[in-house]
Amino acid sequence: MNRYLLAIAVSFLPRLVYAQPSELETKVASEQMDRGIEAVNAGDYEAARVYFKQAYSAVREPHALWNLAMAEKKSGRYILDAVGHFREYLADARISPEKKRKAEAMIRELSMQTARLRFEAAGNHEIHVGSKVLTSEEVRDGLDVLPGKYEIEARLNGRTSKQEIDAPAGRETSVRFADPSSPQPPPNSAPSARTVQPREKMVTVGALGVLGVASIATGIAFTVAKGNAQDRVNRHVGGNSACRGTPIPEFCGSLDDDVRSVESSTSKANILLGVGIGALVSGAAVYLLWPKTVIQEEKSSSSIRFVPSITPRNVSFTATASF
């Protein structure tokens, strides 16, 4: 590797003439290049990096840039700088296609240890990656970073948007920012889906509810009628000992009618109460189990009202429904 660096440096010395630096710049660059190569041969890549950097600052020649990138790579402490300098070397129009291929190979090798951020931002954003403010070239071309999580901030026209991204090694991650100065839609401007009870469901539940209440109300009325008939039976039997026993004597006809009324009212009351309770339970089950409908329009209003009226001799109810 040391010989390779030396060969690169020597082979590019004529480039100093091509760049037409001043005599002093050429002398400084040559001295720093010699010191850098000596540091490479001694295995001191940190010192070599400093010398090659000074040489490149003096003459801005590709051979000095290549050696600088190689010293940064070999040191293991300046991976991002090495990638950036290899990219800069690759963009130099003075290098040959063969040297371009070598630079591309170096970038591919180092890219497995780094991540790259690609920015897709509208307008002239000022992009911050952590504490670093990106140049317009970095925003346009992308930024090499070490793998990890980054907080990225975009500023434009006094407005700021932030996001956190994870940049994995060996991959390019796209970062997209909406223009913070563009008008934002008002909250909840888009129609939201709502769930409503289907009309058929409400009709069914309402009908079962009306049936249940009506049946229970009627059953209660028959229970009241049964109680009245039982009172008459008790009074009749208690005041006339001849009417006691079974079967009832023929001359106790009114007692027989009251007894039959008690039995009939009891049966009807039990049946109607059972039907009413069953209807109410069924209505509740339909309401809970029947799926709702998802719509975008206004919810239709459905209502059912019923008002029972119970007296000892009469049962009535009024039901109204609107959909």
pLDDT in tens, 173-192: 888 876 555 555 554 545 55
What's the token pair of residue 67?
A: 């050696």
In the chain, which residue ranges form alpha helices assigned H by DSSP?
2-11, 15-19, 23-41, 45-59, 62-75, 79-90, 97-111, 136-141, 199-239, 253-289
Torsion of CA 118, 121, 126, 131, to 10 degrees: -40
Q: Compute the distance between CA of residue 174 and CA of residue 118 in angstroms, rounded to an integer.
A: 5
Reported as half-sphere exposure (CB side, CA atoms, 13 A), residue 295 has a value of 11
Task: For 156, list phi and psi in degrees, rounded to 5.
Answer: -160, 125
Alpha-carbon distance of 159 to 157, in angstroms, equals 6
User: Hey, what are 9's tokens?
Assistant: 């440096």
* Side chain identity, residue 150: Y
**Domain spans of the chain?**
2-111, 115-177, 195-322
Listed residue (62, 61, 136, 129) closest to 99, CA to CA: 62
Q: Decide whether 2-111 matches 115-177 in CATH topology.
A: no
pLDDT under 50: residue ranges of the chain: 1-19, 187, 189, 251, 297-302, 312, 315, 317, 321, 323
pLDDT for 194 equals 62
Q: 2-111 belongs to which CATH class?
A: mainly alpha
The whole-angstrom separation of Cα 299 and Cα 305 is 19
Rounded to whole angstroms, the Cα distance separating 179 from 175 reads: 13
56-79 pLDDT, tens digit per residue, is 999 999 999 999 999 999 998 899
Cβ atoms 67, 5 nearer than 8 A: yes
- Contacts for 235-238: CB closer than 8 Å, 24+ residues apart: none
Note the pTM of the prediction, 2 decimals.
0.49
Query: For 77-90, b where at least 16 C-beta lie within 10 A, e where not — what string?
Result: ebbebbbbbbbebb
φ, ψ (nearest 5 deg) of residue 202: -65, -35
Q: Residue 110, SS3?
A: helix
CB burial of residue 2 (10 Å; 0-12, 13-18, 19+): middle
At 70, list the tokens.
């190689």
- Cα dihedral 99, 102, 103, 108 in deg (nearest 10): 160
Among candidate residues 264, 225, 261, 222, the one with its CA nearest the CA of residue 214: 222
Q: What is the CATH number that goes with domain 115-177? A: 2.60.40.1120
CA distances from 278 to 114, 208, 216, 271, 273 (A): 72, 9, 10, 11, 8
H or E segment and range at residue 154: strand 148-156
